Structure 1
């Protein structure tokens, strides 16, 4: 070990007077507080700041009065530091405050450390990791700058105040070892306490420190109770498989004999990622049967801006997903899609396999295999002006049934050309012209009611007139009144089976369109006028309102929409839509369809409100019975979805769906969440009232408790401050 100071430095210190406030940088030939072999480069620097620095006769350096040392990214503050050159040791009197290069805080009353601050003992000490987890001990021993050993220690992320000295939870241990490189905490003879009361004892316990993002080990357990499965517990175990893969295995055991293992696998690639979720079960709901499900999804970026996505959804029986609350879906779809979207071009190709879990649907007679492909491109600056859109489409679907009509299979290719151009007259009238031509060829099998092949040429033409009228009042409000008339004609075409357009709609989005059929197998025909009137008001007080009213008038009823009350007949129902935005984040929307006698076929109302404490969304829908739309009876349903922050720590959630026709709730869920500085608790209670041949009504209860301070994802409530009032 070199001498701490050269003769020149010793002479300088001898001349220093009390309270001089010396700042002394020391370079490698006479390093201060650092051994000669402890530096990788000769120009590394340590720094000492103190009110007074003196050399004692026995080769000791004494710094006192607001002492601060900076060395190798470590900052130490103390009242007095004494360096013994013969022992290469620092004796430090507190209060001591030290921050390491990774942000770990050490507080102690007295310490004996090596001159590089990497080794030594701190007494009556406390350590804070990532400003979350506090560890207090009678003695802390630092070893090699990597290991920190705490004796007779206690760990907690809860705020401890003089008025409340007992934390909500804590772990007492004879010894705790913190491995800084591995980011792990090892507890020996650990005792977990809640409010000072011992709950359980573990001879050995390993937990991640707050800075660790991923590590193999147990995750937060979840307690769950349902009518069918009884009381149970889920114990997830997370397994890292390198930097880009992981696996979570979750055993689920319940009192009503269910043995379930849930699995989640994730992997990230250079150009995408995949995730698989599944479970396998043996229970007494279905005796002597193995139940399972698998949901998988992935997305990948391909060359030339293409994107490939896929998802897989499969299950062994119709009730499994609802019994275990894995999903509420009653129609599963597994798909693979290739897509590229550019400013003026769209390319898509998708293959989907559908499987229905509904007891009223037969998968043999439903189109279970569906293929769709589209190429679409827009062309600007054409010889006729305006915009030309060209597209090519391919479609096919397959039913597994071989019965005529019920097992009908379809294949179709189509080319579409569309031209649009608009003009503005001197008095502000907007004129838009549109022409379209669809050429398609359809192949039909297993249906004797139709020809095996049908080739069609379907032209259409439309002229639209809009006259926006704007008025501003003396109070600053603006009114926009816009009448719209659109005349459309397209000839009648050969019939093809209606498999894709079984549920046409009338809404603001398609009121002024060439066809109300959603699929490519049916096209609206005949001469018709789409008429409407829009009114919008913007008020300087901060509110606005918009109203749209319109309907369709036909020269002749061709029977295309028979059975669909809002669209059938020579004139459609009236469409009335309203949107109201009020100050304070209040929004109200309503859409209604009714006939000339104000007989409603559909009405939808939604109210939204949001502020810092409350987010509320409520909607009401009423639909008349419709055999064509598959509605067996009138629908009258209210849905409420809300989140309310009761305080900085407490939050409640309410989700209710009530059916007025059956005079009962279809689903109800309540949730309560507590997020404190050291613990998070999620409590939920839900009831599903619906039933079928495969599922029964059930009530479920879930409880999850998560301790903050272990792992980077468990930081507790970041809004709370770790301080005490007063």
Structure 2
């Protein structure tokens, strides 16, 4: 028994030495066998269902012989070693030294992370760190019988570094269905247990009518555990491009920078490129810093290289603090327009604003909620012209504006007989405007504006015998805002949206440089239903009447006349995955001046979406012709492995196809193949139409290719 106690730790240590990246801690070892014999003073023999266990690592064999004179271990198979991470080493026979750092295994097969299989004629352990396998076939495909796997890597030798978790192949030959297709004298791949490994990632073959045929080959460089860089060269007959992505995780935030620099034949000889940077950080005293920086070298670069379809780039720096009864936010924004019809020198380019809001519920005031909010805002144009130059939008080219707005308000609600809900609010706005470089505007304006509103709701709820619930709620509001509009220019409230959110607002302008004045009456009806079977539906109708028309409302706002367009909004959702939402403004002639709709259907195999958008002509919004388009996107999963994707966008006003894309993806436990084609038809004079094709092939089972465990199959005989 003394000898057994001495050999047991050695057998358990054998598990740790042979298991590829084992990370076990020292602990009690256990040796179990049907029979244990001691021959003399130098040999111990364990036979029959031999198992050695330590810290989650298990060694299974049919026979183990320890010779203390030669200080060797002889293990008869079948041998199976499983570590806590799920890595498995299988062999027919093994001979190891007493230190368990060196030895020879025949008929060895290594299975890493239940994915990658590395089979060899023999394996040799060296220094307790390396496993050297000879005449190797490696694959992550399910191998059934004698049939060849979909892909495999044949090599004369493979070295597995258990500490660095890397695989080094000599004379590597990539085979598809056992047909050689590629040869590399040296190949290094991270094993699937390594999350971040330096090296090349999945390449993408890309061809387009603008850039020609090219290949993107990302190279990943980890910089410690908290940051990394990915460099992606893209070479084609028409461009030489280097793409960059930098990521860093801080204790209190994250940073990501992406960009590219290109030398191509599409424009001038100067270098082109873009730079995006995003970050979010926690600051002391509950503050948060959020920034999103975007810039491009020219108007067409992002479209030419398929980076984004945005035609205005917004760079923003924001500091925010949100507490239960207080809100504080400061923004600094820079705009870069990529539209050919806009001049960055005459557009509001640099914008800053700060906002503070606080609410109280004082007992001495007899109930209700008191609010105070203040906003400071400025926007700056690069132009110095105090008049309208050559811009088509008829705005003053160099107008710069600063304003300070404050509001003190009180509001409360009561429940009346028969379930009626009444509410009242009182407001006082204090505004100050400063306008510079505009000969048509008063330089400095200050005003105080009072306002009040009362509203009445009658929520009616019905519960059906089967559990269905229906809510019907009519609402009416009478509002009043005093004073008249001062002479400050309309620089911010040129695009007004009339929807459910501002139906009961005293002012529906998006910014405080404009307010509605006079008396208004708003009425609406809300209906909601929840069926026992799970489907839900909602409908909202509303309209606004005012004593005088407001000339600062455009036609498509729906608020231009004394009686507004009728607001209609509805939604529907069904447990089968069907969702529908729509919103529109209905004119007196029963035509929509503005409408949008979205429908979707999603289940285990299908994900479809369709959208529709309508905007009528509106000179006040620089829209000389109507905008009407629909778009469609969908994903359909034919079976477990095949998936099809598509997207379409059609311009109904111009009767032309704006964008179309098709994609096909195949994925199993060892490979992922993606093929896509897209056609972009640009209407702007600074954008060129293009057709793009992309092909991506990823070998699963390695760290660079990702996991394919969820697609693992079983063999049928």
TM over 0.5: yes
1:419 matched to 2:410? The reply is yes
Farther-moved stretch of structure 1 (128-137 vs 561-570): 561-570
Look up the match of 2:567: 575
User: Could you tell me how far apart the structure 2 residues matched to 1:369 and 1:45 are?
Assistant: 68
Deviation string 1:201-255 (CA, Å, 9 cap, x unpaired) is 2221111111111122111111100001110011111122222222211111112
Q: Is the 8 A contact 1:673 1:681 kept in 2?
A: yes
1:97 matched to 2:80? The reply is yes
Query: Shift of the alpha carbon at 1:66?
Result: 1.2
Look up the match of 1:535: 527
Query: Shift of the alpha carbon at 1:116?
Result: 5.7
Q: 2:157 aligns with which of 175, 178, 182?
A: 175
Look up the match of 1:238: 220
- Cα distance change of structure 1 residues 478 and 273 upon mapping to structure 2, 3 Å threshold: closer
Query: Shift of the alpha carbon at 1:655?
Result: 1.5
Query: Shift of the alpha carbon at 1:269?
Result: 2.0
Farther-moved stretch of structure 1 (435-444 vs 676-685): 676-685
Q: Secondary structure at the match of 1:536?
A: strand
- Cα distance change of structure 1 residues 380 and 304 upon mapping to structure 2, 3 Å threshold: same
The runs of 5 or more residues in structure 2 that have no matched partner are 18-25, 388-395
1:549 matched to 2:538? The reply is no
Query: Shift of the alpha carbon at 1:557?
Result: 2.3
Q: Secondary structure at the match of 2:303?
A: helix
Q: Is the 8 A contact 2:115 2:709 kept in 1?
A: no
Look up the match of 2:628: 636
- Cα distance change of structure 1 residues 143 and 567 upon mapping to structure 2, 3 Å threshold: same
Q: How many residues align?
A: 697
User: Could you tell me how far apart the structure 2 residues matched to 1:460 and 1:554 are?
Assistant: 15
Q: 1:122 aligns with which of 105, 109, 119?
A: 105
User: Could you tell me how far apart the structure 2 residues matched to 1:596 and 1:159 are?
Assistant: 67
Q: Is the 8 A contact 2:42 2:69 kept in 1?
A: yes
1:347-496 pair list within 5 angstroms: 347-382=328-363, 383-403=365-385, 404=387, 405-491=396-482, 492-496=484-488
Cα RMSD of the aligned pairs, angstroms, is: 2.2
Look up the match of 2:391: none
1:194 matched to 2:185? The reply is no
The runs of 5 or more residues in structure 1 that have no matched partner are 10-23
Farther-moved stretch of structure 1 (335-344 vs 174-183): 335-344
1:661-680 pair list within 5 angstroms: 661-680=653-672
User: Could you tell me how far apart the structure 2 residues matched to 1:556 and 1:147 are?
Assistant: 86
1:274 matched to 2:255? The reply is yes
Deviation string 1:555-602 (CA, Å, 9 cap, x unpaired) is 222434254461111100111112222231211222221123312212
User: Could you tell me how far apart the structure 2 residues matched to 1:372 and 1:496 are?
Assistant: 18
Look up the match of 1:297: 278
Deviation string 1:537-558 (CA, Å, 9 cap, x unpaired) is 2222322222111100112224
User: Could you tell me how far apart the structure 1 residues matched to 2:12 and 2:552 are?
Assistant: 91
1:308 matched to 2:289? The reply is yes
Q: 1:76 aligns with which of 35, 55, 59?
A: 59
- Cα distance change of structure 1 residues 90 and 522 upon mapping to structure 2, 3 Å threshold: same
Q: Secondary structure at the match of 1:695?
A: coil
Q: Is the 8 A contact 2:334 2:349 kept in 1?
A: yes
Look up the match of 2:265: 284
Query: Shift of the alpha carbon at 1:57?
Result: 5.6
Look up the match of 2:392: none
Farther-moved stretch of structure 1 (411-420 vs 307-316): 307-316
Q: 2:589 aligns with which of 591, 597, 602?
A: 597
User: Could you tell me how far apart the structure 2 residues matched to 1:32 and 1:521 are?
Assistant: 82
User: Could you tell me how far apart the structure 1 residues matched to 2:490 and 2:311 are?
Assistant: 23
Query: Shift of the alpha carbon at 1:113?
Result: 2.4
User: Could you tell me how far apart the structure 1 residues matched to 2:94 and 2:682 are?
Assistant: 67
Query: Shift of the alpha carbon at 1:689?
Result: 0.9
TM-score by length of 2: 0.93
1:513 matched to 2:505? The reply is yes
1:639-650 pair list within 5 angstroms: 639-650=631-642
Point out 4+ residue stretches in structure 1 off by more than 6 angstroms. Answer: none
